[in-house]
Structures are given as structure tokens and as C-alpha cells.
Structure 1
Amino acid sequence: MPSFPPPPDAPPAGRTIGHTAAAPGALVRVSQPELVRRAALERTRSRLLLAAGGFAVLFGAVAARLADATLISPVAPVRLAAMVRQNTPPAEHLPGRGAITDRNGELLAVTLPITALYANPREIQDPAGAARRLVSVLPQLNLEAVTARLSGERQFAYIARALTPREQQSVNSLGIPGLYFEQAERRIYPQGRAAAHILGGVDVDGNGTAGVERFHDERLRTRRGEDLRLSLDVRVQLALRDAVQQQITDFNGIGGAGIMMDVQTGEIVGMVSLPDFDLAEPARVEAVAPGANEQGNNPRFNRATVGVYEPGSTFKLLTAAMALDLGTVNVWGGYDASRPIRVGRFTINDYRGKNRWLALPEILAYSSNLASAHMAAAVGPTRHREFMVRMGMGSRLSVELPETAVPLIPRPQHWRDINTLTIGFGHGISVTPLHVITGVSAIVNGGILRPPTLMARPHGEVVDGTRVISERTSDTMRRLMRLVVTEGSGRSGDVPGYFLGGKTGTAQKIGPNGRYLENKRIAAFVGAFPMQAPRYALYVMVDEPKPNARSHGFATAGWVAAPAAGAVLRRVAPILGMAPETERAAEIQAALAMPMQPGRPRAPGNAPARAEPARSAPPRVGAVAPPASQDRAQAPRRNASEPALLREVSIAPR
């Protein structure tokens, strides 16, 4: 047979490629490395199958959940969102500095989150150009100041402390490298000028700088979310401010003050000092007129707690209460006011005096300096000073403000007869308006001196105090104070149905050299209402009032301060829930009434009676008429020498 050549790809004869020819059923040997390789492949295959199964289950669960959330239960996401909001940790929304409210919950101060703009000047390539672009969207900025802040080698400079969301977006749209935003806080005072001196304010870092903000700084910073509730009532604040400001404007005064206090608890319901400032715009406070460090021009000066003034005739209430309580005078006793008291080359005299013997009601109603000086002299210097200290006039008051003043009172070794004479009618001692109203509150509330406070007390809480006069003396003083308003210098402050009682006081101001200033005075009124059951004490003062046409050339407290007190009472009493007692007005007034003079028979012969009754005396509350012999003992000794009045002691002329 013919033989054909093998195909080109046929293996050579007698040679195998890639395997060894073996007979069927022969054993095949596998090397150890091959076995290891095959085992690894099996493990990998198993793991891949397990992972694929896990992912299949996971994606299946996700798919099922999505199907349930979108098709089966579409409201479930809303419930989930609510659960997320409820379970958000409070730490993520920590409030800032604690808020301050008035007694009714009205916000006086609150901290709000803001956005601040700052820059890294090292990253600003063109400070002048960047400043121009910033001012174009933030016109409240000063171009020169911004340029200076964007220049230099500093790495941090504030540009704006508080941006609105729109301003933030505008700045962000400028795309200026080196400008950054940060979340910050800002103290807001929604009431503006209301209670400015009491609140005080904070610095740019949120730390209290004055007032309650400084006194309670740690509490406000650490007790986040807990409001600080003050005893103030914003409505009373506004009424006080309006009334005092009106008198300052009408009489061209340089300032004034007003305080209203709960006589049973010591809570300060209202306290203003004028001029004041707007806490909402603290930057404007710095731009004050030359002489801003002087009390009269500095709006930050608190006349109510820092200003010390001679109280003038308002102190005659303390003198009368002291004399009644110590028994040196009774309600129908009196003193000679017919002759001036001369001490060295100075003279104590009455302003438009009656030039006769005056009974105690007349002493207060006519505001006699001479009789008040004699009344204090009868008590004596030692007991006089002890009483003043007991009434709180010798030390700083413990009110919740860092800005308080120490009264200017003679030391025990320097308190002489002349001091007793002048302090008896409110000169020779300087105290703050808060001292005056605190003392008068004790006189009318039954004789308990309670420290003033700016913190709201729980309703019905019994406040401890110190008894300084008897209840009987307090009752008599209330009737005498009512007499001053109905028959004396406080008539312009009377408001029908509210039975205001009080005392006016006009005192000359003392200059830097210690001498009295001509035609510069303090006009004040202090009182309480309603006198049959006092609830609130009221103090109004105008600094350096000038006469005007309506006052007929006078600028005394009866023309200036008493009408302001009446305006405050007329406005705030209804706000405080006090309705006028119109139906029982005659009955209440009869119970409070007190004649100016005791009823006495005519003197023998042709001499006129020393004191004719102004009207029949109604039944008196808290005072017992003295026997005839005691009453005669209080009659004036016109030929007697003045007791201990002729020492060569300097006293300011009146």
C-alpha cells in the first residue's frame, strides 16, 4: 500500500507531548504542590459562595425594607424622623447664657445663636480690594477699619460679630479667600432701655460687666437653660421712666431716679435711673459728651443705688418716727419754730415758716426744719445715731447689684450736737434713694426693716426682718404721712381712691469743695399707698430741676417730685390689680384723718389761743392723746435758752 506522509501538525512518531501514555486502569501520581493548590481552590470557592449568599440575604433585606417603606407602609419614615428628633441628645442643642425675665416672665435678656465673620489676614491677597467688596454687601462696616483688620501678619481678626443669613450668603458669594464663618452667641435685650442699669450688660465674650449680669454671672453661665426671674415688673419700669423723664424735661433737670418697692417683702418692683442707655445698642453708650465721668453726664451712673444725696425733708419721717418710738414726743406734742437756730456764723431757718410753736402734725405738713432739729436734739446724739444705723442708714445695702454706695454718715466720735440738729431735717448725711425708700418701707409696714431685693420671691413667702419701731408708731406715722398729702406739701401727688401718703424733700447739692451749690438742688418725694394697708412704697427724684412758668418760679419737691409720684400711682395701680376705693373713700379717709392741731381752750385774757383745732378730731388709730399735764410739758419755752446749740461748728447756710 502506498504510504502517505503524516500531517504537518502530527507529533513525531514514538514521542508524546503533554502526557504520558498509560494503559487503561493505570495509577496516576499527583505531586504534593498540586494537591495544596487544589485544596486552596476549594476553600476559595466555598468562601465565595458564602459571601455571595450573605450579600444576597443583605440586599434582599434592604430590598424588602425599601419595598415596605415605599409601597407597603409609606408613613413609616415620618414616624422614624420623629423618633430621631425625640432621641437627639440634649447636648447637641445646649442653650447659651441663661435668660433673665421680669416677675411676669417677660424677657429682659436672652442669648441667641449668631454667625460671626472673621478673617486670616495672611491669606488675604488684596486687603483694600477685599475690604471694598465686603463693605459693598455689609454697608454697616467702616471701610478704613476693615482694611486695617485685613492687613498685617495676624492670623485672626473679627470682621463682623453678627450676620443675618442673607448677609452670610452675600459674603459667601464674594468668594474671597481668607474669610471664614463661625457659630457664636449674642446677648439680646428685648426691652431696650427698660431696666438698663439693673441688667448692666455683658462684654463681647458674653461675660457680665455690670448689674445683675455681673452679680449673677456664674449662675447665668453654669445653669444653662434656667431663667433668672427678677422682682421687676416691666410695666412699672416704663411708668416710672415716663413720669420721671417728663419732670426732667419740664423742669430742665440733669437726671432723676424712681423706685417702687413691696413694703412687705422688700421686692423692688421698679427702679430707674435717668439718663439711661439702650442695652440693644451698647456701642452708642461709649459716645457720650465731654465730662462723661461726671455723675450728671454719665448714662451708666445709677442714681438709685450709687448716687448719694442729702435726703432733705424726706428724712423728717425718720426723725418723727424715732421721737415717737423713743417717747420724747407724742402726737400732740411739738416744738418752737418761731426763732432761727444760730450756730456760729450760720443759721438754721424754715422755708416760708409759720414762726410759731408747731404740733407734730404741723411739723411734717409744713416741713419745719427748726422743729425737726429740736425734735432730734431732744433724742440726743447717741440715740439719734443708733437709730439711724438701725434703720440701715450707716452701711451699704445688700441688694443684688455690684454697683452700690456706702452712705456718708459721721462716725460715732465725730457725731456731735450739730450733726443731730442738721440730720434731723435731712442735711449733714448723704444716702442713696434706695436707702430712703427702704427705711420708709419699714416705717409704714408695721415697723419691720427688710433688705431690698431684685429677686422675685414665691407668692406668700414670709420674709424675715428686723423690728426697728413699734406697730403703734408705724400706725401713727401712716396717718401723719397721709396728712402731708392731704394738707401739706404733697397735695399735688394725691390720687383719689388710692390714699397716698408721704413726704416731700428739697435739698441743696454739695459741691466738690464741700459747700452747698447755689440753685442746685435735689427734689424728691417718698411715700406709700394705700395708707390704710400699705402695699407699695414709692420714691421719685429729679436732679437739679429749674423753675418754669407753670411752677410760678418754684422748683421744690412739691412742684416737681410729688406730681410725678401721682402720675406713677395713677398708671401702675390698675396694672398691679389695685382698684380705687371710691365707694368707701369717705370712711377710709375718716379713719386716716388727723387734725393739724389738738383741740385746746383759748388762753386767758386777750391773748389768742396757741393752737386752734383745724377741725374736730376723729377717733385716732394707734395714738393715745396725752394728759393735759403732759401736753403742757410739750408747750414751747419761749424764754428758755437753746440747748447746746451755740458751739462753733460750721454748718451750711439754708
Structure 2
Amino acid sequence: MIKLFRRKAALSTSSASIVVDAARMTTGGRAKTRVLMTMAVFFSIYAAIAGRLVYFGFQEPDPGAGPASRVTASRPDLLDRNGEVLATDIKTASLFAEPRRIVDADEVIEKLSTVLPDLQIEQTYHKLKSGSGFVWLRRQLTPRQQADIMALGLPGIGFRTEKRRFYPGGTTASHILGLTNIDNQGIAGLEKYIDDQGLADLQATGLALPEDLEPVRLSIDLRVQHIVRDEISQALNRYHAIAAGAVVLNVKTGEILAMASVPDFDPNNPVNALDKDHLNRMSAGVYEMGSTIKSFTTAMALDSGKVTLESRFDATRPITIGRQTIRDFHGKGRVLTVPEVFIYSSNIGSAREADVVGIEGHREFLERLGLLSRMQTELPEVARPTEPKVWKKVHSITASFGHGFTTTPLQTAVGAAALMTGKLLPPTFLPRTEEAANAIGQKVVSDYTVESMRYLYRLNAEKGSGKRAEVPGYRVGGKTGTAEKVVNGRYAKDKRFNAFLAAFPMEDPEYIVLSIIDEPKSEKPGMAATAGLNAAPIVANIIRRSASLLGVKPEFSHESETTVVSTE
């Protein structure tokens, strides 16, 4: 019995052990399954979060959540040819909010309005109630505004240091330098040109580091630039005009030393930069340049080999072609020599010069001098000239004295520089040596044409309509242009676009100076409002004030009268 009991007990113990082991195996399997399931759940959650992050990363920012949180990019300094700073980056504070930390949006707006009275209440309220993590409230604060806002002690409000473009000269060279946007990216002028040359790509990749950006030196002379803008600003008021402009161009290199157009804008506060009246008329406006184009008509006739300075043209009576009659403003009623055609600015004589060359030859010459195609230069704001779709004889005749086609004033100055040297150079706002200019210059007129045009320019300043451009010691020469403006398809007698195209010193021209004045009025009652009375004095004042700065020494031994070839 005892043995049987022991045997049964042993069997019972063995069975219990097996049951326990089986239970342990079952429990362990379930625990392992639970661990794996838990891990799978966590992996799924993290995968979902990662997926959402990737998804949101490819989404456009929500307009209602305010601008993206990013730091403005760095830009290189812009310097004039003498190393003076024209544009530079300065540090500025920008105001942001973290809406999730804002307790009372109304209180925040009320207090911010005491410092920023122009704060847009409704828009700011929606930003603060958006629930997002970051929104801009105001970019580029003044130091005083930043200090006053900090004193308010508002939770959820902070500042971020950004870069802002600063132009020490203000309006002085605004049309040349251009603008940057709120993110310090170039949107106009040479600022945009620099971005297009690769700076924008560096900014996008975060490689535009301040210490790696070399300053960009321009061809502009800030001293001359100031003089140019000052003179055209005074002329705008003196002649009660709607606009004025001028450019100073180095004849031998194609460098632009100064260029301005008023009205203009302050790039530090460009609230009116896009107003149509603030257009850069020198390069972005096209006009009928009037009698300044006679420079090219006479040069074309001389360069053709069919005309010399001794040639004569019949200007005794008007020319009628179709329904148009060509008359002289102050006609002499007789045969004129080529110098007389030029200094008396004879429309009839110019028309006959063009007729000698022919229609195709006329257009080809204007194209050769760069007056009919879009000018190539660094400045993005360049207009395309206009011309008749098909040139007929009437178009050639009217074009001979500056009507019927339009071009930019800057192109006119560039073309005139080619008449003074024989070579056409693309204008540049960057430094260029004479050696580099000679390598890219294109010969467009003969040496005889060059010498003849120098003589005619000087003659016109001494004997013709350019007398008021004379500056003792600097041998100025040039050509006036008084063009009636087209209003509603007809030429208006009381609206003019005047210009004076000058070069100096005439024995070996170094600079072209072109002035324009749009719709000038008489300076005094009873006076006329022609180019010789307003555009020419602008040029004289610019040369008088800037010639010494440009390195041109006055020379009085050449101050002798030029003999007219023939006045019979």
C-alpha cells in the first residue's frame, strides 16, 4: 500500500510538473507575442509620424499661418569705382509670435498697437489665433521699436535678427542699384543682376556666407552720380517738367560713370518705386529722340562715301511725300552745305541726306549703331526700341530727323560714342579697361566719318543750337533735339521731349553726356522751351561740375573759333 501510494504520489508530482511546464510555455509564448505586438504598434506609430512629417515637408506653407521661419540671406557690398559703399547689409530685428503660447490675443494686439500704430488688427488677430508654432508679425523693426516692444513683456513674442539692405546714398543711384525684397533678394537693378549671376543659387543652398562674399565694384563714380542727379532735379523744378534724366558715358571703355532719372525713389523706403512716373527713363523708356538723331543721319551720309562736308542739299522749299509735308523749323530757304544742314538742324536737308543713302541702307545703319535692337547691358530694366514693320520712303524721311521710330536715351548716347571713336561698345555698369573694350569693340564707321562728326559737334556748340552747352576750357560739342510728343496719335505742339547729346573734349572725346527733359515749360514768360534753352544748360552744368573729377583738365589754348565750311 505504501509503495502504491508513493508510486501514485510520484506520478502526481510528475503530472503536475508537466502541467506547470506546459503552462510556462504557453505563458511565455503569449508574453513574447505581446512584446512583438507592442513593438509593432510603436513602429507603426513612429512610421505614421515620420510619414506625416515627410508629407508636411512637401506642402506649401499655410497662408493663414504666417510666413515661413527663415533667416534672410547675405549679399555682397556694392561699391563705386573709388571704393565708396553704395549698398550694404545691416542687422535688424524682426518680430515674431508663437501662437500656441499666446494667452490673450486681444491684449497682445492692443499693446503692440501702442508701438506699431499701423499694425493690421484683423490680420494679426488671425495669425495669433492660428495655433501654429511660428508667425511673423513685423519684419525689419527699428531699434527703438524693438526696445519698446521688449518693454511690454508679452509672452509668446520674440525677435529674430535678420539682414536688411541699406543704401547710404538714398535716392542718389536708385535706378542703377535697384531693390531687394523683404528676404534680401534682388528684384530690380544691379541687385537683381547679381542674383542672376549665381548669388540666388548660393542663397538657396545656404552658401552665401558673409565672410565669403567679395564686394562688387561698379563703374559708377558716386561724386559724378550725385552731380547728375542734383542737376536734373533742379531742372525738373526750374522748367516745370514731368521728368528729366542724364547719363555720363566713357567713350573709350563704354563704362557708365553716372546715370539718373527723376522722379525716382528711395530704395531704403521704396513705397513709390513701382509708380509709373518713377520709371527709369534713360534705359527703360523709349522715345522719338528728335533732332539728336540727325547726328546719325549726317554720319550715315558721310560714311556712305556719297557725301562729303562740301556736299550741298537743296532746302529752298518743303518736301511733300504722300500726305506729309516736311518743313524746317527755322528755314533758310536756300541750298545748304552739310555743316549748315547740321548746325541749322534742317529737316529738309536731313531728309535729302537719307534719300542719298536709300531706305535699306538707312535702316541698316541705324541697326549697325545699335539704335533698333534691345541693348545688351547688366541693367535688367532695358526697353526694346520700336520701328515701322516695313520701311518705306516716308519712314526713312521722317526717321532722318528723329520721328517714326523710338529708342532709349542710353542707346542714343552709346551710338553717339561710336561716332566719336568709330567703335560700338556695349555699355557697362562694371569696370572695364580700354584693352578689354578694344577687344570687344566693333568698327562701325570710318575714320573720316569720326573726324567729320567731331568737327560738326564742335561747330554746333560754337555756331549752332548748342551754344548754351559751352563750358570754357572743355571744348564741348553736341546736338540738340526738340521732339513733339505723340498724343492720341497726333503730334502735340505744346508737349515736347527735349534732349541734348554732347561730347568733350572734342579734339579727342573722352565722355558723352546726354540730358533729357520731358514736357518742359518756359523758364520765364516769353521764352521758348526748346532743347537749346533747357536740355543744353543741364549738360553744361554737369560738365562744369564734374569734368575735373573725371580727370579732364581744362585747356584754353584751343578756345578759337571754328570756321564754317561754307555759308553761301
TM bucket by the smaller chain? 0.7 to 0.9
2:321 maps to 1:343:
yes
Q: CA deviation at 1:234?
A: 1.3
1:269-304 Cα shifts (integer Å, max 9, x gaps): 111111100111123546xxxxx44xxx2x1x1101
**How far apart, in 1, do the equivalents of 2:143 and 2:349 lie?**
70
1:531-568 Cα shifts (integer Å, max 9, x gaps): 01111001000011122426x33111001100110000
Residues 517, 145 of structure 1: alpha-carbon distance in 2 compared, 3 angstrom cutoff: farther
Q: Secondary structure at the match of 2:547?
A: helix
Question: Equivalences for 1:258-273 in 2 at 5 Å?
Answer: 258-273=246-261
Counterpart AA for 2:516: M
Residues 417, 203 of structure 1: alpha-carbon distance in 2 compared, 3 angstrom cutoff: same
**How far apart, in 1, do the equivalents of 2:466 and 2:365 lie?**
26
Q: CA deviation at 1:166?
A: 5.5
Match for 1:432 among 402, 405, 408? 408
| Identical-residue share of aligned pairs (%) | 41
8 Å CA contact retained: 1:132, 1:143:
no
Counterpart AA for 2:236: I
2:359 maps to 1:381:
yes
Q: CA deviation at 1:148?
A: 3.6
1:142-176 Cα shifts (integer Å, max 9, x gaps): 37378546543153332332245554344333221
Alignment partner, residue 558 of structure 2? 585
2:468 maps to 1:468:
no
2:438 maps to 1:450:
no
Counterpart AA for 1:536: Y
Looking at secondary structure, tell me which structure has more helix per residue.
Answer: 2
1:46-97 Cα shifts (integer Å, max 9, x gaps): xxxxxxxxxxxxxxxxxxxxxxxxxxxxxxxxxxxxxxxxxxxxxxxx9921
Match for 1:142 among 108, 115, 119? 119
Question: Equivalences for 1:147-186 in 2 at 5 Å?
Answer: 147-148=124-125, 151-153=128-130, 155=132, 156-164=134-142, 167-186=145-164
2:305 maps to 1:331:
no
| Aligned-CA RMSD value | 2.1
2:340 maps to 1:367:
no
Alignment partner, residue 234 of structure 1? 222
8 Å CA contact retained: 2:253, 2:434:
no
2:568 maps to 1:595:
no
**How far apart, in 2, do the equivalents of 1:166 and 1:328 lie?**
72
Counterpart AA for 1:559: L
Q: CA deviation at 1:247?
A: 1.8
Counterpart AA for 1:481: Y
Alignment partner, residue 129 of structure 1? 107
Counterpart AA for 1:529: F
8 Å CA contact retained: 2:313, 2:335:
yes
**How far apart, in 1, do the equivalents of 2:381 and 2:168 lie?**
23
2:288 maps to 1:313:
no
**How far apart, in 1, do the equivalents of 2:166 and 2:126 lie?**
26
Counterpart AA for 1:449: L
Gaps of 5+ in 1: 1-93, 287-291, 599-610, 612-654
**How far apart, in 1, do the equivalents of 2:147 and 2:241 lie?**
49
Counterpart AA for 1:245: S
Q: CA deviation at 1:197?
A: 1.1
**How far apart, in 1, do the equivalents of 2:174 and 2:76 lie?**
17
**How far apart, in 1, do the equivalents of 2:524 and 2:266 lie?**
32
**How far apart, in 1, do the equivalents of 2:131 and 2:81 lie?**
47
Residues 435, 169 of structure 1: alpha-carbon distance in 2 compared, 3 angstrom cutoff: closer
Alignment partner, residue 245 of structure 1? 233
Alignment partner, residue 45 of structure 2? none
**How far apart, in 1, do the equivalents of 2:471 and 2:251 lie?**
19
8 Å CA contact retained: 2:254, 2:437:
no
Alignment partner, residue 490 of structure 1? 466
Match for 1:519 among 494, 516, 522? 494
8 Å CA contact retained: 1:490, 1:562:
yes
TM-score by length of 2: 0.81
**How far apart, in 2, do the equivalents of 1:236 and 1:517 lie?**
35
**How far apart, in 1, do the equivalents of 2:338 and 2:173 lie?**
39
Q: CA deviation at 1:399?
A: 0.8
Q: CA deviation at 1:345?
A: 2.9
1:419-472 Cα shifts (integer Å, max 9, x gaps): 111111111111000110011000012x11111111112476443211111112
Alignment partner, residue 554 of structure 1? 528
Question: Equivalences for 1:95-106 in 2 at 5 Å?
Answer: 96-106=74-84
Match for 1:568 among 527, 542, 549? 542
**How far apart, in 2, do the equivalents of 1:397 and 1:183 lie?**
40
**How far apart, in 2, do the equivalents of 1:522 and 1:404 lie?**
19
Aligned residues: 485
2:231 maps to 1:254:
no
Alignment partner, residue 606 of structure 1? none
Residues 480, 284 of structure 1: alpha-carbon distance in 2 compared, 3 angstrom cutoff: closer
Residues 180, 102 of structure 1: alpha-carbon distance in 2 compared, 3 angstrom cutoff: same
Alignment partner, residue 483 of structure 2? 507
Counterpart AA for 1:347: T
Residues 522, 164 of structure 1: alpha-carbon distance in 2 compared, 3 angstrom cutoff: closer
**How far apart, in 2, do the equivalents of 1:361 and 1:277 lie?**
42
**How far apart, in 1, do the equivalents of 2:295 and 2:303 lie?**
12
TM-score by length of 1: 0.71
Residues 217, 482 of structure 1: alpha-carbon distance in 2 compared, 3 angstrom cutoff: same
Residues 233, 349 of structure 1: alpha-carbon distance in 2 compared, 3 angstrom cutoff: same
1:96-141 Cα shifts (integer Å, max 9, x gaps): 21111111111111112222111123432223322232343x3565
1:376-399 Cα shifts (integer Å, max 9, x gaps): 111111111111111112211101
Alignment partner, residue 95 of structure 2? 117
8 Å CA contact retained: 1:149, 1:157:
no
**How far apart, in 2, do the equivalents of 1:531 and 1:182 lie?**
58
Residues 405, 163 of structure 1: alpha-carbon distance in 2 compared, 3 angstrom cutoff: closer
Q: CA deviation at 1:480?
A: 0.6
